[in-house]
A and B are shown apart, each in its own frame.
Chain A
Amino acid sequence: MSKTLAAQTVSRRQFVITVAAGSAAAAALSLAAPSAVFATEDAKTLDEAIKHVVGDKELMDGASVITLELPQIAENGNTVPLGISIDSPMTEADHVTSVHLFAAGNPRPDVASFNFSPSNGYAEAATRMRLAKTQDIIAIAEMSDGKAYMTRAEVKVTIGGCGG
């Protein structure tokens, strides 16, 4: 009740002005928000991160080589389980040397790099990562013959894991 009384004491003209200004600000925010989102999703940052680890190497489609084990929906972005396995015999002559992981929509796309050796037996590893929001996870596997494969998978995140 007291709320409606307070509203009545504000003149009609003032009320209209305040509401208009408020909605204009809200509109400006909603316009600004997507561009801010795009800034973090900037392909350049992801490209830079990828370039930093693999240089100008040609990246072949790795959908049949790399398996990413990820939840389709992650309820908590603070700990998202992630498993990778790569189809490789892991011998001295033919093995995976390293796997680089990126989260395209995180403020910093770098996640981790795993360095394998032939004595691993299987080219498999698992960890847990933070995801700020729904986004693509990118994995790049570098082989001992110099080839590099890339694949990606999407994870839907309910609660982001980068807040504070």
Chain B
Amino acid sequence: MAQPKPRVRVPKKADKGEVIEIKTLISHPMESGQRKDRKTGELIPRKIINKFACVYNGNEVFSADLHPAISANPYFSFFVKVEESGEFEFTWVDDDGSVYSQVSKITVS
């Protein structure tokens, strides 16, 4: 399977105190663990992203606990009020323990 590829949209600039919208997506099959292999009839083991988190300058501002009912290529959008320039770090935790992450910078004036 291809390595999951995270994609994040964060504005490059914002005014102090502005509420910005962040959109994230990661390519991942989100195998629910309920599907059967059409040829062998065996259940395909569950493999999903079970946790997503967004950390802004060291503080966790948004996180999500996910279940198999989340679609493949999980997408999230949410808002953050920005007070200072800095970094957003996004992390996705896979069932197999892998962690995928992405960092975006923002300039706040």
Q: Please give the residue numbers on chain A whose beta carbons come within 8 Å of chain B beta carbons, in ascending order.
A: 78-80, 90, 103, 106-108, 110-117, 119-122, 124-131, 161-164
Contacts and interface: CB of A to CB of B under 8 A. Distances in A.
Question: Most chain-B Cβ atoms within 10 A of its Cβ — which of A80, A111, A119, A164?
Answer: A119
Contacts of B81: 90, 119-121
Contact of A106 (B38, B44, B69): B69
Contacts of A119: 56, 59, 61, 80-81, 83
B62 A116 contact: yes
B62 A110 contact: no
Interface in B31-84: 32, 34-36, 38, 44, 56, 59-72, 74-81, 83
A111 B69 CA distance: 5
Interface residues of B, number: 31
Nearest to A109: B69
Contacts of A124: 78-79
A128 B77 CA distance: 10
11 contacts: A79-B71, A108-B34, A112-B69, A117-B59, A120-B78, A120-B81, A126-B76, A126-B77, A126-B78, A128-B74, A164-B35
A99 B65 CA distance: 10
A111 B65 CA distance: 9
Contacts of A121: 19, 79-81
A164 B42 CA distance: 11
A77 B27 CA distance: 19
B67 A112 contact: yes
A117 B60 contact: yes
Given A117-B60, A119-B81, A127 B75 contact: yes
Interface string B12-25: 00000001000000
Contact of B62 (A106, A117, A162): A117
A164 B34 contact: yes
Contacts of A116: 62
Given A114-B64, A117-B60, A127-B74, A122 B79 contact: yes
Given A111-B69, A112-B69, A125-B78, A130 B32 contact: yes
Nearest to A103: B69
B61 A108 contact: no
A114 B24 CA distance: 14
Contacts of B71: 78-80, 127-130, 161
A121 B32 CA distance: 33
A121 B21 CA distance: 10
